[in-house]
Amino acid sequence: MLMPTNLLKDHIEDLLDSFGEAIAISDNNGIMLHVNKKHEELTGILHKDIMGKSALELVERGVFDVVLNPEVVRTGQPATRMQKTADGRKLILEGNPILDRYGQVVLVITFIRDITKIAELKEQMSSQKELLDAFRKLQHSGGKDLEKFPRVISSRAMKKLYAQVSMLGDTDVTVLVQGETGAGKDVFARRLHEVSERSSRPFIKTDCSSIPENLMETELFGYAPGTFSGANKQGKMGLIEAASGGTLFLDEIGELPLAMQAKLLRVLQDREVVRVGSTTPRKVDVRVVAATNKDLEQEVAKGKFRSDLYYRLKVAVITIPPLRKRRADILPLARGFLGYYAHKYQRDVALSHDAEEALLAYHWPGNVRELENLILGCMITCEKKVISARDLSIALPSPEPERHEGVLLDSLDVEGKTLREILEQVEQMVIMDGMAKTGNMSAVARTLGVDRSTIFRKMKRYEGGTA
């Protein structure tokens, strides 16, 4: 029979591989003695390629940009740093010393975590705090309007997007926000500004589709003194200069004329602007966030959008899914809008169960903006304290099921999923498709041969963020 200490020695590698975190063990000279399987997955470096190598040598070769071993050995204390891998991912390192009986460091064990998971958790906590703050204002504002409507991120897709925004907030890279009209591109642009180091500086929004083409250049770049008769004699600062130090949000960038695209490209490349009527460039420190509901790649192919500008904008891309693709957000948004406007207009109104069913069944071609306007209209016109599905039908057309192209498997997200998760995804798609066609839980339950309570319970689970 093996003694406990021998049993532990025989299975130490299996033990380390069972951890959900990446682990690296090095000696006091920085030589790598062991890494577990999670380390291979997280860094992309094979066990055989790192064993016996010096940690400092790995930094010199560009495999890592930072290691903790020398600091931990020197101080004998734990240390934490952020590391950037060769493929650009950010990891959190937590190095801990292992001491001998004389108090000397003999080993350093480093735990490594993907910062994306931390950012996701941080975003969820931030969202919860924002909701709590909003509820406190409802209770203590004394009849004043709320400063802003709290964010709702119930679906997995939105949680990932907000985590991505938190990551991008630490950088100054240009961001392209894609999504259908009304999906919330403006909200994401403002959020990106709020979580950045530029949050105390200007956020300037420009709608490229609403400015006449003959005024576009002067609006964006400004003009020098004496350029136009009747214009300001001192000249005028453009919106790009006004946003210096902060964020410039170019909404509907796909509508920007080709001539202006060339000038914007210079801003992104050289960080300078030249006012109309001037030859002197002015340096600007501005972060550009662009948004579009168009497929810019197709616009490039048609010759309507410059390819060099497109690739300059495509440094970081946030793609917002339409509301119909994130149904777990529908009811939280609807209830949030109802509570917000009910407080604003001093109304005591709620949504009935059948009204919520109708909202879940609808296709939402106008996305979040359509939902907000519908809730506002119904709350203002409804004479009762409860909004029913019949009240919604005044403004809500008959549900139109979304037309899926191809077979069911084409729309499944199976990468990295277990069989159980895939089957749950299929189940959800079937139920949501039935709701889109009938708008009635009872009808869906009859069709699928289950109790109505079963359908109701599953719909609540999708609403709760598992969808």
Are residues 72 and 162 located together in one domain of the fold?
no
Of 23-37, 56-70, 304-318, give the lowest mean pLDDT range: 56-70
Q: Examine residue 79 and state whether it is found in any structural domain, yes or no.
A: yes
Structural domain contains residue 130: no
Residue pLDDT, tens place only, 145-169? 434 455 667 788 888 888 888 889 8
**466: which DSSP letter?**
I
Phi/psi at 263 (5° precision):
-70, -35
- Percent of the chain surpassing pLDDT 90: 26
> What is the chain's length?
467
Residue-range definition of the domain harbouring residue 347: 323-397
Provide, rounded to the nearest whole percent, the portion of the chain with pLDDT above 70.
Answer: 80
Q: Does 6 reside within a domain? A: no
Higher-pLDDT residue of 460 and 240 is 240
Q: Which of 368, 397, 426 is the last residue of a domain?
A: 397
| Predicted confidence (pLDDT) at residue 56 exceeds the cutoff of 50 | yes
Q: Is the predicted pLDDT of residue 177 greater than 90, yes or no?
A: yes
CA distance 327 to 325: 6
Quick: pLDDT tens for 112-148: 887 765 656 665 555 455 445 444 444 443 334 434 4
* CATH code where residue 104 lies: 3.30.450.20
Query: What's the confidence (pLDDT) of residue 344?
Result: 86
Q: Above 70 in pLDDT, residue 416?
A: no
Q: Kindly report the average pLDDT of the chain as a whole number.
A: 80
Residue 186 pLDDT greater than 80, yes or no: yes
pLDDT at 327 over 60: yes
Q: Based on the domain organization, do 53 and 87 belong to the same domain? A: yes
pLDDT, position 429: 78
Average of pLDDT values for 198-213? 89
> Is the confidence at residue 397, as pLDDT, over 70?
no
Q: What is the pLDDT of residue 212?
A: 87
Q: Is residue 403 part of a domain?
A: no
Asked if residue 303 and residue 235 are part of one domain, the reply reads yes
**Residue 393: per-residue pLDDT:** 67
- CATH number, residue 422: 1.10.10
Residue 339 lies in a domain: yes
Q: Lowest mean pLDDT of 216-230, 301-315, 431-445, name the range.
A: 431-445
The pLDDT of residue 142? 39
CB 109 within 8 A of CB 67: no
Residue 298 above 90 pLDDT?
A: yes
Alpha helices in 345-451 (DSSP H): 353-361, 367-381, 389-392, 419-438, 441-448
Model confidence band, residue 37 (pLDDT cutoffs 50, 70, 90) = confident
Counted domains in the chain = 4
409 is a domain residue: no
What 8-state DSSP symbol labels residue 199? T
Q: Domain check: are 239 and 313 in the same one? A: yes
What would the pLDDT profile of 329-359 be if each residue is shown by its tens digit? 999 999 989 988 888 888 889 999 989 989 9
3-state secondary structure of 178: strand
With cut-offs at 50, 70 and 90, classify the pLDDT of residue 22.
confident
Mean pLDDT of 292-299: 93
Beta-carbon contacts of 341 under 8 Å, excluding residues fewer than 6 positions away, are 347, 375, 376, 379, 380
Q: Do residue 307 and residue 335 come from a single domain?
A: no
If one counts every other C-beta atom within 10 angstroms of the C-beta of residue 140, the result is 8
User: Is the confidence at residue 257, as pLDDT, over 70?
Assistant: yes
- Check pLDDT > 50 for residue 402: no
Residue 304 sits at φ, ψ, to 5 deg, of -95, -10
* Pair 423, 465 in one domain: yes
Residue ending a domain, choose from 319, 341, 366: 319
Same domain, 201 and 314: yes
CATH number for the domain spanning 359: value is 1.10.8.60
Is residue 173 domain-shared with residue 304, that is, in the same domain? Answer: yes
In a domain, 139, yes or no: no
458 and 332 fall within a common domain: no
Highest mean pLDDT of the ranges 70-74, 176-180, 360-364, 433-437? 176-180
pLDDT recorded at residue 147? 42
Residues 25 and 76 in one domain: yes
The pTM score is 0.56
Domain harbouring 307, CATH code: 3.40.50.300
Domain match, 237 and 189 both = yes
What does the DSSP assignment read for 278-323? ---EEE---EEEEEESS-HHHHHHTTSS-HHHHHHHTTEEEEPPPG
Question: 315 and 191 in one domain?
Answer: yes
Q: Which residues is 94 bridged to in the sheet?
A: 80, 111
Q: Residue 320: its pLDDT value, please?
A: 93
Residue after which a domain boundary falls, among 286, 319, 352: 319
- pLDDT (0 to 100) of residue 48: 79
Report if residue 410 sits inside a domain. Answer: no
152 vs 199: CA distance, rounded Å: 21
Q: How confident is the model at residue 302 (pLDDT cuts 50, 70, 90)?
A: very high
What is the band of 301 on the pLDDT scale with cuts at 50, 70, 90?
A: very high
